[in-house]
Amino acid sequence: MSTQEPIEKKTIYEKVAHDSVSIIGIDVITHNKDDKAVDDINGLWQRFITEGIIERIPGSISPEFVYAVYTDYEGDHEQPYRLIIGCAVDANQDAPEGMVKHTIPAATYALFRSRGEQPRSLIKTWETIWASDLKRSFTSDFEVYGPRFYEAGLHEALIYISLAQENN
């Protein structure tokens, strides 16, 4: 069961339980200071697309869904963290050379739906999350890009923010 709770007047999220998901993909360690993350994230996406990473992920369960996982936080969102872009795989699948595997833990997440012109809508949603008083656990947050992301006029990306126990 999910509930909707306001963060700001115009921003609503759903509180959802999400099962664990194993991801294999490529990664970068970055931070949000001095626009470093902008360059690193854009570079990782470029590499993911141009190198055909999605086709090289072994045992992909649903290749029509791409995950961008923010994890290994060294504190809050202003400290270094790891970004992994990849696909869901069977939990027993090993990562090939040059890729990493990460398991997003089963937990309660705040689910945001970023819709509209991308990446502008996605950036605005993250800015709202960062400015909010949402109690985050900073374990694994993730974005999901599925068929609705490519739907004309919608361009929906899902953003899951891991919640601290007191929010559950």
What per-residue confidence (pLDDT) applies to 11? 54
146 lies in some domain:
no
What per-residue confidence (pLDDT) applies to 9? 42
159 lies in some domain:
yes
Bin 155: left if φ > 0, else alpha if -120 < ψ < 50, else beta: left
On whether both 99 and 130 belong to a single domain, the answer is no
On whether both 29 and 88 belong to a single domain, the answer is yes
CATH of the domain at 47: 3.20.80.10
Of 106, 115, 119, 100, nearest to 156 (Cα)? 115
Of 18, 17, 25, nearest to 93 (Cα)? 25
Give percent of the chain above pLDDT 70: 92
pLDDT digits (tens, 9 = 90+) for 46-87: 999 999 999 999 999 988 999 999 999 998 777 899 999 999
- Average pLDDT in the 100-119 region? 94
What per-residue confidence (pLDDT) applies to 167? 52
Average pLDDT of every residue of the chain = 89
Q: What total number of domains does the chain contain?
A: 2
pTM: 0.88
Q: Which residues make beta-bridge pairs with 161?
A: 110
What per-residue confidence (pLDDT) applies to 32? 82
pLDDT digits (tens, 9 = 90+) for 23-53: 999 999 999 887 888 899 999 999 999 999 9
For residue 100, give its domain range.
21-104
Q: In the structure, what pLDDT confidence band is assigned to residue 154 with cuts at 50, 70 and 90? A: confident
What per-residue confidence (pLDDT) applies to 76? 79
Of 95, 79, 98, nearest to 29 (Cα)? 79
On whether both 69 and 130 belong to a single domain, the answer is no
The DSSP 8-state label assigned to residue 166 in this structure reads G
143 lies in some domain:
no
144 lies in some domain:
no
